[in-house]
A and B are shown apart, each in its own frame.
Chain A
Amino acid sequence: MTDVAAVYPEIIVTIVACLVLVGDTALGRRRATAALPAITVAGLALAIVATVTVVPLGHYFRGFVVVDAFTGFFRAVFLLLAIFATLVSPEYLERRRIPAGEYYATICFSTVGAMTIALSSDLITLFVGLELMTIPIYVLAGIQRGDRYSNEAALKYFLLGAFSSALLLYGFAWLYGVTRATDFAAIASYLVANGVASGPTIVALALVTVGLGFKAAVVPFHQWTPDAYEGAPTPATAFMSVGPKAAAFAAILRVLVGALGPLAVDWSIVIAVLAAVTMTAGNVVALAQGNTKRMLAYSSIAHTGYILAAVAASRAGVSAGAAVLFYLFAYGLMNLGAFACLLYVDLDGTRGASLDELNGFARREPLGALAFAVFLVSLTGIPPTIGFIAKFYVIQPVLDAGLAWLAVVIALNAVLAAFYYLRVVVRMYMYDPEGAVPRLVSPRLLSTSLGVASAAVVILGIVPNSLLEWAQRAAQPLVR
């Protein structure tokens, strides 16, 4: 039964999802709106507790599943993000008449998938986890069925997501064909034993890189991102932009660094170039956006580039892996927060906020504006925030890996990004609201959770040590 004990958190989240679905039908509409988020948050919190209760580290289910420090870190991150996403949603869902039960259940199922990726020590587990994570996200993007933009977001996300899954799977098939194994350790040791990469290995490597690149929204495989993020209902976007991104990077770390680590000489330079292109393209296009939601979508592409830079530096050892994990945590917190701040202004008939709508936001909603400003400053990477620490820890291993040019590109991009992030802050604080001001909603739950998150962004920016140590311990299993 230790096998089952090893996946208690996943079991709990699955049960929560089922409970939410049953509760949605059994409770009346009024009671459901209050009860469902409460059930979801309580269940997810219970799952976090369950991640702490220890089964001995090691392999379970005949080597299909591994529990190590890496697993623990990602489990906690995914669960925290899911809780955060649940807390900011209820008021919006009610306003837009989005079916609440389906929404929360979908988030839970997606979280189970993401946690399965973190658990995986085998291509099969990883692929199942990846699909279990993504398919609910397609549903989430299109959950507002009557809305054309939501439909379009879901359709584009789905078509490219399915395509990328197929590419990835074909890559996995070849990997299996070449190495005769599906578990990461065996693949790695085969590659070490057989020296240089052969033709089929390179084909597999290319397919896997492209497939995972789609999932993480790496330029040039990012085209679905802006539309999917802009069209999806805003709280769904907030979750989509962080959960699947972190999960995609968990998969990248497990597959590229874990299983295909022996081929690092072949892929690290490609990844480094992709990282540079991704961050630059994301930032440049974000500069030109007049819609805040779309701007944040492009900015999330830019952040993919920074994280990818740390992946490219994996030669530098533990510090590179730790940088990826730390950045993912920071990114999750601040990006989810930033998207959630748009919920204040996202009224009926608007899609995300145009920049003009944010004029004078600080006077109308002081606390909301303060939280938004904190998230934006953190996304820029200005000192007393977690965003600064994250960028700092990315640059270090990049230099250690001998990629000085990439470090320069990162620094230049950080300056470039400051323009469009701080522009929003300036508009919120220095401009007067224009014309007829639409009525703002000020939901209490949203404000409270954003307050807590923005406080965490600042506090962890001042005392990042314990989090960093945790990330370092979690990155240890990746280094052989």
Chain B
Amino acid sequence: MSAHVDFTRADAAASTVPCLPALEVEDLSFTYPGAEAPVLNSLSWEVPEGSFALLVGGTGSGKSTLLSLLKPEIAPTGEREGRLLVLGRPVSDYTPAQSARAIGYVFQNPDNQLVCESVWHEMAFCLENLGMEQGAMRRRVAETSYFLGMEDWFRHDVDTLSGGRKQLLALASTLAVQPRILLLDEPTAQLDPIAEKNFLHALFRVNRELGCTVVVATHQPRAMVDYATCAFRLSGGALTRVDDLEALRERAALLPRVPAAGEEGAGAGRVAVELRRAWFRYDRGDDWVLRNLDLSVRAGRIHALVGGNGCGKSTLLSLMAGVRRLDLGKLVCAERARALLPQDPHALFAEETVDAELMEWASAAGYGQREANEMLDALGLGACAALHPYDLSGGQQQLLALGKLLLTKPRLLLLDEPTKGLDLPARRAIAQLLREQGDAGVTMVVATHDLDFVSQVADDVSMVFDGEIACTAPREEFFRGNVYYRP
């Protein structure tokens, strides 16, 4: 099933250039200031023009560093050796304006990379920066909007868009200048599976229809294999070509032993949280988010809530956390000690060091330095105690946030997308930690898009749809009954 090799390129211009590599890296070494070992070690790399290249590797392997070195305005400072050519020209020769025109760059976080308040203004941002005249700008913006099918939301405010649309807008904004090469750093890590497919499809069309060279750095290449023409793996500072693209589809086990279905944790059978005929809306003028919803979560189990964007999963969590109140219906929650893990761990970080972070609630929750140190080791963050929480990797931040909450010994743990954007080792660590809590009798409700995670870690699964629970079943039964909705 190698769907990736037989595509003929629609763009003639790309094929007339005689095999000029879009990217050429020779003997590149890079060391961050103060670091002992180089991140990239005499690395050589060649990406042919018009290809759809994947750059895979775990967090911290240097993917982002390598990509950003190809874009002089955002290249990190450090010791650099070797040659970097983009479209046959040394990177250092590009002026900022030339670089903005030729090399597009899309970042991971859709919220952080958008600048303006409305969609049309964001589309024009780069063109305005280049001082393009009015007529040409209108044409570029119109063309790009049509190409990506954005007419319906062209006048919307950026803040009202879903994450998937925000990321598509970030792509559109870079495409408007018609770059010849697009570099993307984990562009789909923050998106739900449907939005991810939409985004990748748009990227695929950019590549095949416009002949634009696409390079995507990712630690989850599975969904991209269908589109890719080549892949490279970065590890230990060196780059190797991945010959068997199909191998990238592999799904790794998250837990050493998948718990058998029906295996009960401590205190099983009891209902920990129950919602009866629940109705909820955010404001008087808003539509109902929950409509006559019934749900019961059994104690000591990991209960996953799955469903599309805006179906009410996060709302359910904040109701169970006691942050919001139902408009109608009843919520019974037996556990007083609760904790809520937000989607973005930054919402939890208030201190200067990892150690102080774990100690923030020590006196309020009644634990001491010894427990904090044990937690630090359990999280595998022993070496990072003196670092600033923001200097940790995304996965480590999520682990730290979870550890901080676990120190308060919650009996009900509510988690919003705990594995979003994380690489395999981090997802494994989270899965392990949650499983241990489940065995200790802690009830957990997890709102997530990560069906792979659900199918390996959760006990019960509920599908939320249209403000109601469409079905609730033990994990295995749930996935057995689903035709479309599976990992």
Interaction A to B: no
Chain A residues engaging chain B, CB cutoff 8 angstroms? none
Chain B residues engaging chain A, CB cutoff 8 angstroms? none
